[in-house]
Amino acid sequence: MDLNKLLQATGFEWDDGNIDKNRVKHGVSPAECEQIFFNQPLVVADDVLHSAHENRYYALGRTNLNRPLFVVFTLREGLIRVISARDMSSKERRAYRQHETE
């Protein structure tokens, strides 16, 4: 991912299609999704398998209350649009911990 695009994002895009989906499915609020983008470390990578129609990315990060989340998102017109968010798996937590010590 070109991190400059992420750094230039000016906000988040929430609408009826994604505002409550992650809270209902995984108990993750929109505020928690947003928080990980402001806390360090933030690990971001291309989601090549799901980028057929638009570039998608995934992020590993922590909320303000230290909850480890896995978030799939895209960038649309300078806004971050969260597609999916859930707690990190044990494998993802191990990978994230490697970045915490760097």
The predicted structure's pLDDT at residue 102: 66
Per-residue model confidence (pLDDT) at position 77: 92
Q: Per the structure, how many domains does the chain have?
A: 1
DSSP string, 17-86: TTTTHHHHHHS--HHHHHHGGGSS--EEEE-GGG-SSS-EEEEEEE-TT--EEEEEEEEETTEEEEEEEE
pLDDT digits (tens, 9 = 90+) for 43-55: 999 987 767 788 9
Containing domain of residue 71, as a range?
3-100
pLDDT tens by residue, 11-21: 999 999 889 99
Residues of the chain with pLDDT below 50 are none
